[in-house]
Chain A
Amino acid sequence: MTTLNVSGAGGRLTAMKCALLVLCCLLPLGCVSPSGEAPPQDPKLAAVERAEASYQQGLTLMAEGEYGKAVVAFTESLHAFPNQHRAHYRLARCHYQLGNYGIEISEYRKCLALNPQHKNALYHLGSAYTAQDEIALAQDCFRRLLTLSPGHSDARQALGMLEAVATSADRSVQQY
């Protein structure tokens, strides 16, 4: 360690003392490491950064139509930082594109468990249930969405269609 040559031996000693004092103050703050390396990052912060990077990569892959790879990226993002409703939503959209309709539904549900007011997830879950012939569940989604957003015309139209289906005699298997 270099010392400041202030004035004589007494001054040199005082400078050393000051340097030691500063070092002792900085060490607990993590600004300086005893070996001289960069300070370690907060692990939580690092995970968030990794999750964000994977998420952004997933979005890029989705835009390129690489849905399989995007699934991997979003899954990595969720591993790094779980409970992201947006990643579950994107995963659901990817699985829809891949034709995995069962997983699509489960991902929307996970998204809605984390954020019950996710309007897109509600609409697409309603659509997915409609296409699985789960009329009551689909109606429930569209109704919830209309409570949140009464002007959602697509949801209103879908709900109207499902209400007509639910009351129609065509669903009765007795006619066969």
Chain B
Amino acid sequence: MSRVCLLFAFVLAALPAQAETLRELEQAQQRANKEWTRIQAKVQRREKDLDGLQRARALQSQRVAQLQKDVADASWISRSLYQSRLEQARQELRSLSNEVARLTSELEQNKKVEQARRLRLIGAIRAHTDRLFAVAERALALKPPREEQANAMVEKAIADLPLLEDLERSKWVKHEAPTLVRFADETRGKSLKELDELANFYNELSDEAQREQRNLLPEHTRLTKRLQRLNRLAQLGIADKRLPVLIQRTRDALGRADDVLSSFKASAESHKARARQIETLIASRSLEQGRAPGGGR
């Protein structure tokens, strides 16, 4: 029996991944939207709860401080009474702090889930809207073209795109390349070892910026493709009035994406150039000291 199951599993694994139909993609998007909305509401509730608890803790903390003062000022007769009140207040403060810690950790967890679900929702909306546009394009390519149906699909896709744009915006954060300290100031008085570390540091920064740039390239390609598709649909005669607006917004988004990509590129290049400058300096100093560059120091 288990062999049969194993064989079945192998057969399933060997089958090519079947592409979802339009209806399945729509259902997947609805599911993802529902899940994301739910976790988002949960995060907001937790943030509110945490805010309330933090305020309560701050008040309790003030109360404890006041009681401590009261204990110090109290006569020996009333001191035990104040002392017991202080103990009780401290106990409450501890339990409030524990509650704040628990809620903070829960909130962090929920935020991670929210992030994961947001990414899933972005993927689901993209898959669905891209397919809607593609199917609309095919419906228009038929003879006779199924214009009404294509219009309906484009309308549906356009209705979903504002949410996608909002969700995607967080991805395109411009990377401000830090202004580098003057080379002479940065390297003055540094040993070969320190210079070597500095060169490594700049190489790492450059690699990091290049990696970010590479990671964003598929996103950029996706935006470019979307713009091309929207332009094609406009040329094919889609009547939706929102289409030109959407084309303009996509063009703007692509402009922003270009800016972000070039900021990473500029950053990678400037860091790489600084690393090379430092390496050249290391090589010249090593020669001056009569040692081969890269040799043991």
Query: Quick check: B126 and A161 within 8 Å, CB to CB?
Result: no
Q: For chain B, residues 101 to 115, give those with C-beta under 8 angstroms from any C-beta of chain A.
A: none
Cα-based distance from A174 to B19 in the complex (angstroms): 9
Query: Quick check: B142 and A130 within 8 Å, CB to CB?
Result: yes
List the A side residues contacting B149 at CB < 8 Å: 99, 101, 131
Chain A residue nearest in CB terms to B140: A131
Chain B residue nearest in CB terms to A166: B19
Nearest CB in chain A: distance from B200 CB, A: 36
Query: Quick check: A99 and B139 within 8 Å, CB to CB?
Result: no
Query: Quick check: A172 and B138 within 8 Å, CB to CB?
Result: no
Q: For chain B, residues 141 to 176, give those with C-beta under 8 angstroms from any C-beta of chain A.
A: 141-143, 146, 148-150, 152
Query: Quick check: A161 and B141 within 8 Å, CB to CB?
Result: yes
Chain A residue nearest in CB terms to B28: A173
Query: Quick check: B22 and A158 within 8 Å, CB to CB?
Result: no
List the A side residues contacting B293 at CB < 8 Å: none
Most buried by A among B130, B134, B135, B142: B142
Query: Quick check: A170 and B152 within 8 Å, CB to CB?
Result: no
Known: A131-B135, A133-B21, A171-B19. A99 touches B142 (CB 8 A): no
List the B side residues contacting A131 at CB < 8 Å: 135, 138-139, 142, 146, 149-150
Chain A interface residue count, CB cutoff 8 Å, equals 22
Nearest CB in chain B: distance from A176 CB, A: 4
**A157 lies within 8 A of chain B by Cβ:** yes
Cα-based distance from A154 to B134 in the complex (angstroms): 19
Of B22, B131, B135, B148, which one neighbours A99 at CB under 8 angstroms?
A: B148
**A75 lies within 8 A of chain B by Cβ:** no
List the A side residues contacting B123 at CB < 8 Å: 176
Known: A130-B142, A131-B149, A134-B21. A176 touches B135 (CB 8 A): no
Most buried by B among A99, A131, A154: A131
**B124 lies within 8 A of chain A by Cβ:** yes
**A165 lies within 8 A of chain B by Cβ:** yes
Nearest CB in chain A: distance from B17 CB, A: 7
Query: Quick check: A127 and B142 within 8 Å, CB to CB?
Result: yes
**B86 lies within 8 A of chain A by Cβ:** no
**B186 lies within 8 A of chain A by Cβ:** no
Most buried by B among A130, A158, A173: A173
Query: Quick check: B152 and A133 within 8 Å, CB to CB?
Result: no
Cα-based distance from A55 to B150 in the complex (angstroms): 30
Q: For chain A, residues 95 to 127, give those with C-beta under 8 angstroms from any C-beta of chain B.
A: 96, 99, 101, 127
Some 19 contacts from A to B, beta carbons below 8 A apart, are: A99-B149, A99-B152, A101-B149, A128-B146, A131-B139, A131-B142, A131-B149, A131-B150, A132-B22, A133-B21, A133-B22, A134-B21, A158-B143, A162-B138, A165-B134, A171-B131, A173-B19, A173-B25, A176-B124
Q: List the interface of chain A (C-beta within 8 A of B).
A: 96, 99, 101, 127-128, 130-134, 154, 157-158, 161-162, 165, 170-174, 176
Q: List the interface of chain B (C-beta within 8 A of A).
A: 17, 19-22, 25, 122-124, 126-127, 130-131, 134-135, 138-139, 141-143, 146, 148-150, 152
Question: Told that A131-B150, A176-B126 touch, could you supply 17 new A-B pairs with CB distance under 8 A?
Answer: A99-B149, A99-B152, A101-B149, A130-B142, A132-B22, A132-B135, A158-B141, A158-B142, A158-B143, A161-B138, A162-B138, A165-B134, A170-B130, A170-B134, A171-B131, A173-B19, A173-B25
What 4 A-B pairs come out closest when comparing CB atoms? A171-B19, A176-B123, A133-B22, A131-B139
